[in-house]
Amino acid sequence: MLGLLLDHISTVDFILLNVALGLSIYLTLAVGLLSLANAGFLAIGAYTAAILTAQAGWPPLAALPLALLLGALVAAPLGLLVLRLQGVYLAIATIGFGEIVRITALNGDKLLRALSGDPRLTVFHGAEGITLPYSSPLPVLGLPVTTWLLLLYALGLVYLLATLQRSRYGRLMVAVRVDSLAADTLGVDAVRCRMLAFVLGAAIAAGAGALSTPVVRVVDPGQYSFGRAVDILAYAVLGGMTTWVGPIVGATVLTALPEMLRPLQEQREVVNGLLLMLSIIYLPRGLADPRLWGGWQRWPAALRDRLAGGTTEPLPAPPQRGPG
Amino acid sequence: MEQLPQQLVNGIWQGAALALFALGFALVFGLLDVVNLAHGATYMWGAFFGLVCVTRLGWPFWAALPGAMVGAGLLAVLLERLAFKPLRTLTTGSLILWGGFLLLLLGLVGFHGGEFQAALVGLGAVLMLLGLVQDYRAARPLLQRSMPYLAPMIASIGASTILISLARGQFGAQVSRFPPDLFPTTPYPLGQAVVIAPIQLLVLAVALVLMIGLHLLIARTRTGRAIRAIAWSERTARLLGINADLVIAQTFFVSGALAGAAGALLGLAFNRIEPTMGTQIELAGLVVIVVGGMSSIGGTVVAAFLVGLLRVLGVAYVDSSFRDALVFALLILVLLARPQGLFGRASSTRA
Amino acid sequence: MRVVGLSVLVALSLALSGCASGAAPGASPAGPAQGSGTAAGGLAGEVPVGAVWSLTGAAAVYGTVQKNAADLAANEINRAGFLGSAKLKLITEDDRSTREGGIAAFEKLLNRDRVVAILGPTLSNTARAADPMAQDKGVVVLGVSNTADGIVEMGDFVFRDSLPESDVQPNTIRKTKDKLGYRRVAVLYGDDDAFTKAGYDVFSKALADAGVEVVATETFKKGDTDFSAQLTKIRGLNPDAIVLSALVEEAAGIMTQARQLGIPPSVPFIGGNGFNSPKLAQLAGSAAEGAISGAAWFISDDTPGNADFVKAYRDQYGADPDQFAAQAYTGVYLLATAMKNANSSDPRAIRDALAQLKDVPTVLGSFSFDASRNPVHPPVVQIVQDGKFTLFK
């Protein structure tokens, strides 16, 4: 079994990474925000760790707290700016943010050279990206240490989200998600709730970025495009946005599937698109829909509560524009 | 600075093309509150339809252009029935449609030639047709749903992937072009140091004609009134006896036709038709509809010219590397200062 | 509905675990398959060689061509009995033009298929992420399209047969400057692609070394269709020539629009490997006339076997090969030659034999590896005349 795992270790690493990313977007979806900015925060975390490793020799674990901090610091003002917007407009604004991050990484050196006056300054390496030196990761109890880091991170996130969901704060999040206006009248600070979810989600994505550097080994702007943000969204959509189990299932299936479908190379993209369409149309609560897992009612209440965390209403209903 | 007039010309004709594309986007958004992220793929297929008309059917360009529009329009309607309608109401027809679609995909993608493939594709197509008819005529839906309103956007992303993949399978990943000499290429001088190519003039002309046509459609016809009614409130419109599903299909047809026109024209203007050509223009289109505000044709058009000029002048006078960053910065600026867009109504953009 | 849902989920998880535990259907059987032969023994049986190409995704255009050429070479080698009774078994994997795809492909080839050498991957960035894995396991990686920096520096098992721009373009600038005598040029390059950006770095240094004044430096992005803003700017500055580091799709658009905007044909385009492709004339038509490309390979070159290669590729695939094809084709032959010289399919022996290859006759010319496993063979400068690339004289 261990040998099997080691043979596919890179897939395992990527599954863990994508699980963390899926959970980060889940947090924002849980308060009713469709944010496609997570690829941008992923980039921020990855570049932070890569620059520190390449320029100062820091190991990714040391860069992790800095990445978390930076993610939160960037998310805070961004959140203040865009969280006032609703639904589609928020989504589009976050897409714009992601693109700006990517373009900054691509042309960062140009900017730095202009600012510092030193024409040789090279930190971002433009399209080539930053390449990290490879060293065969040390095995700890059989698994490489990079995998352990990702595993512990993912488990930590699960614990965090499960606790959050069951706590009073989790109820607040649901209230804000379902009807923020009503929540406001009940004294819930919807804005603060959203901000917290947004900033936390950003930090999680940035942290994942930092831990991803030893696995991807090359950090270049092309990896953090709009397409990546869409992939992350797909993890949550396919898996289900109502419980934290959803993104885990979604990330696992969507990461492992291309590998399993290796023989079907040309058809793979069609299958990916098809899965997304089928899941949103016919399985809107995702694969991890509690109601799918037959006999949901017979599960112990505590477990149900832990998994479902309140209402299973995924996203808010459309705003009314006219009288009807 | 003497190059400014030429740069302005560059920006204007591209703004016109962008306007064509963005109008289709805005139509659907205005009607259904749905961002159709498969619009770029429709645009791309429009270009390919035009190419097929010219290369395989031997039509001249002035016939291929409407051919592209009709093809893309029908594609958009199909897209609506497959991806968007089931999210509102599920009927047996839509289930049959999906069954046929799955068979069709299986045939197209899973097999290489032979009668089995032809049979599967044929069967799939027939089932899809049946499904469409049944869906349209259904008196009672199986299921009336209220979906989170971001679901259609997500479904359109999946559809976009499939469409791009199918194009790649059909036409290859490389760049194709319209045959040379399809359209006169010698540029006309417009004054000192300013030239414009015939195709660019065509784009401008066609865009203007279509924009005026669209305005007339919305403002003067019964369908246009129905569209405006549904945009205001779908429920009320149905109560008034408007056949909402038909009108929605018609709107998607128009939206797709506009995208198809843009695709064929730009495919000719840039000599470049490839499966991924829709993605870049789609991002620009998103910026346009937000900046313009979603409630008016005029607003979208002005915003398109604005964005087109910004792109060109940004490269010309700022720095070519930051062109896209400038466009997105404009997006964020507008969203902050005037979230309803420059021309939109201050309604429900705030949370 | 619930029962259906549950059984679907169960089936899915069974499928997931089942697939993960063994080879997916259609892949080669797992287990040691090094081909018989130890370090001293001979070549026999099937020799598994991996090939990682971008068959889907952004770089699919290049990967598919590389696959075609590599398959062509492998078939020729087997048919001709080049390796005696042994047969080359090419196991092709798609890296989807992504990092994860490349890493996973290498993992499969190294751990499950146990290949003795790997060709590719298509993109330099993927190579920098995945090659170290092969280096670690002591398996040769031969890049056939990696021209960025830092590739062969990854280890002594990493080779490449793709001549980097730094070896090709100074020659291009020298030759063209001598012949055309330009003094002021504008430079235009794609800044979001590692290849074209590296080309720009090389060109700008070569131009500085040659004392040529650069009046403007403009950029564009991969996939851009409109270059009128940059070209209008350039037009206003009246350069003697335009140095262009671009891939063929963008290059065709740039040349067409430049002529449309009125930049006269007396201002030629001078560029690198990027648009060394028959597609240039196809896409740009008459606007491509006079374009000069410094390259590693030239379709009508009379290098050994080139005419046969071009004909065979044309016959089999219905299109002309380009430089990517030529380098992939050569790569397979280089590996086979190394195996033949070492008379072994042991990875270490292959590596040593490969490193010692000197003056091998290939379609790229007389080919050798230098001490740092970079390719050494004469570059060419070519010019488009009557819609075809001919030697620039």
pLDDT band at B243 (very low <50, low <70, confident <90, very high): confident
Q: Do the Cβ atoms of C6 and A287 come within 8 Å?
A: no
Cβ-based neighbours of C198, under 8 Å, separated by 6 or more: A128, C147, C148, C149, C164, C165
Q: Is A273 an 8 Å CB contact of chain B? A: yes
Q: Which domain holds residue C197?
A: 166-295
Winning range, highest mean pLDDT, from A144-153, C14-23, C35-44? A144-153
Q: Do the Cβ atoms of B328 and A233 come within 8 Å?
A: no
Residues in B closer than 8 angstroms to C322, CB to CB, are none
Residues in A closer than 8 angstroms to B236, CB to CB, are 322-324
Residue of C nearest to B7 (CA): C229
- Examine the domain organization and report whether C191 and C103 are in the same domain: no
Q: Do the Cβ atoms of B110 and A321 come within 8 Å?
A: no
CA distance B4 to C235: 12
Q: Is B143 an 8 Å CB contact of chain C? A: no
**Range with lowest mean pLDDT among A129-133, A246-250, A285-289, B193-197:** A285-289
Residue A266 lies in a domain: no
pLDDT band at A43 (very low <50, low <70, confident <90, very high): very high
What is the pLDDT at residue A276?
A: 81
Residue A313 lies in a domain: no
Residue C126 lies in a domain: yes
For an interface test with C, give the residue of B320, B321, B324 to mutate (most C CBs within 10 A): B320
pLDDT at A121 over 90: no
CB pairs under 8 A between A and B: 168
Residues in A closer than 8 angstroms to C27, CB to CB, are 262-263
- Examine the domain organization and report whether C242 and C323 are in the same domain: no
Q: Do the Cβ atoms of A10 and C104 come within 8 Å?
A: yes
pLDDT at B241 over 70: yes
pLDDT at A313 over 50: no
Residue A5 lies in a domain: no
Which 8-state DSSP code applies to residue C362? E
pLDDT at B170 over 50: yes
Residue A130 lies in a domain: yes
Cβ-based neighbours of C187, under 8 Å, separated by 6 or more: C200, C203, C204, C207, C214, C216, C217, C218, C242, C243, C244, C245
For an interface test with A, give the residue of B168, B320, B332 to mutate (most A CBs within 10 A): B332
Residue C51 lies in a domain: yes
Looking up residue A72, the CATH number of its domain turns out to be 1.10.3470
Q: Do the Cβ atoms of C125 and A128 come within 8 Å?
A: yes
Q: Do the Cβ atoms of A131 and C150 come within 8 Å?
A: yes
Residues in C closer than 8 angstroms to A222, CB to CB, are 58, 125, 192
Q: Pick the closest to residue A269 from B13, B166, B266 (CA basis).
A: B166
Q: Do the Cβ atoms of A10 and C26 come within 8 Å?
A: no
- Looking at the 3D structure of chain C, how many domains does it have? 2
Residue A168 lies in a domain: yes
Q: Give Dmax (Cα) for chain C.
A: 80
- Examine the domain organization and report whether C137 and C46 are in the same domain: yes
| DSSP, residue by residue, C193-222 | SHHHHHHHHHHHHHHHHTT-EEEEEEEE-T
State how far residue C17 is from chain A, nearest Cα, in angstroms.
10
Residue C11 lies in a domain: no
pLDDT band at C363 (very low <50, low <70, confident <90, very high): very high
Q: Do the Cβ atoms of C232 and B7 come within 8 Å?
A: yes
> Which residues, listed in sequence order, are joined to residue C368 by a DSSP beta bridge?
C376
For an interface test with A, give the residue of B102, B157, B164, B283 to mutate (most A CBs within 10 A): B157
Q: Which phi and psi angles does C367 have, rounded to 5°? A: -110, 135
Residue C321 lies in a domain: yes
Cβ-based neighbours of C104, under 8 Å, separated by 6 or more: A10, A11, A14, A259, C95
Q: Do the Cβ atoms of A270 and B235 come within 8 Å?
A: no
CA distance C235 to B10: 14
Residue C8 lies in a domain: no
Q: Which residue has the higher pLDDT, C213 or B111?
A: C213
**Residue A217: in which H helix or E strand, if any?**
none
Q: Do the Cβ atoms of A134 and C100 come within 8 Å?
A: no
State how far residue A119 is from chain C, nearest Cα, in angstroms.
13
Residues in A closer than 8 angstroms to B227, CB to CB, are none
Which 8-state DSSP code applies to residue A222? G
Residue C55 lies in a domain: yes
Q: Closest partner residue to B321 among C219, C229, C284, by Cβ? A: C219
Q: How far is CA B140 from the centre of its chain?
A: 31
For an interface test with C, give the residue of A4, A8, A128, A289 to mutate (most C CBs within 10 A): A128
Q: Do the Cβ atoms of B271 and C283 come within 8 Å?
A: yes
Mean pLDDT of A285-302: 63
Q: Is B335 an 8 Å CB contact of chain C? A: no
Q: Which residue has the higher pLDDT, C151 or B193?
A: C151
ipTM score here?
0.83
What is the pLDDT at residue C37?
A: 41
Peptide bond into B148 cis (omega under 30): no
- Examine the domain organization and report whether C54 and C148 are in the same domain: yes
Q: Do the Cβ atoms of A91 and B87 come within 8 Å?
A: no
Residue of A nearest to B350 (CA): A85
pLDDT band at B187 (very low <50, low <70, confident <90, very high): confident
- Examine the domain organization and report whether C138 and C170 are in the same domain: no
pLDDT band at C14 (very low <50, low <70, confident <90, very high): very low
- Examine the domain organization and report whether C97 and C113 are in the same domain: yes
pLDDT band at B63 (very low <50, low <70, confident <90, very high): very high
Task: Chain A: list its partners (3+ Cβ pairs within 8 Å).
Answer: B, C
The chain-wide mean pLDDT, for chain B, equals 87
Helices (H), chain B: 4-32, 39-55, 61-79, 92-110, 114-137, 151-171, 198-220, 222-232, 234-239, 244-270, 277-292, 297-313, 323-337
**Range with lowest mean pLDDT among A126-130, B313-317, C22-26, C296-300:** C22-26
Q: How far is CA B92 from the centre of its chain?
A: 28
The pLDDT tens digits of the residues spanning A60-117 come to 788 899 999 999 999 999 998 888 777 778 888 898 899 999 999 988 888 888 888 8
pLDDT at C49 over 50: yes
- State in Å, rounded, how far the first CA of chain C is from the last one: 75
What is the pLDDT at residue C74?
A: 95
> Which residues, listed in sequence order, are joined to residue C218 by a DSSP beta bridge?
C188
Token pair for residue B316? 């010309």
For an interface test with B, give the residue of A115, A278, A280, A282 to mutate (most B CBs within 10 A): A280
Q: Is B321 an 8 Å CB contact of chain C? A: yes
pLDDT over 90 percentage in chain C: 55
Q: Closest partner residue to A107 among B168, B322, B348, by Cβ? A: B322
CB pairs under 8 A between A and C: 120
- Examine the domain organization and report whether C289 and C365 are in the same domain: no
What is the pLDDT at residue B317?
A: 85
Domain's final residue, options C295, C323, C354: C295
Q: Pick the closest to residue A11 from A228, A262, A267, A194 (CA basis).
A: A262
Mean pLDDT of C112-128: 91
The chain-wide mean pLDDT, for chain C, equals 85
Residue C200 lies in a domain: yes
Residues in C closer than 8 angstroms to B271, CB to CB, are 252-253, 256, 283-284
pLDDT band at A298 (very low <50, low <70, confident <90, very high): low
- Examine the domain organization and report whether C239 and C199 are in the same domain: yes
Q: Is B283 an 8 Å CB contact of chain C? A: no
CA distance A268 to C94: 11
The pLDDT tens digits of the residues spanning B260-282 come to 999 999 999 988 999 989 988 99
pLDDT band at B348 (very low <50, low <70, confident <90, very high): very low
The half-sphere exposure of A82 on its side-chain side, counting CA atoms within 13 A, is: 27
Q: Is C45 an 8 Å CB contact of chain B? A: no
Please identify which residue in the block is written with the tokens 């209220």: B146
- Examine the domain organization and report whether C102 and C173 are in the same domain: no
pLDDT over 90 percentage in chain B: 36
Q: Pick the closest to residue A8 from C78, C24, C42 (CA basis).
A: C24
The pLDDT tens digits of the residues spanning C248-274 come to 889 999 999 999 888 999 999 999 888
pLDDT at C27 over 50: no
Residues in B closer than 8 angstroms to A322, CB to CB, are 232-233, 236
Looking up residue C217, the CATH number of its domain turns out to be 3.40.50.2300
Predicted structure pTM score: 0.85
Q: Which domain holds residue A201?
A: 10-260+271-308
Q: Do the Cβ atoms of C192 and A262 come within 8 Å?
A: no
What is the pLDDT at residue B228?
A: 84
- State in Å, rounded, how far the first CA of chain B is from the last one: 44
- Looking at the 3D structure of chain A, how many domains does it have? 1
What is the pLDDT at residue C1?
A: 37
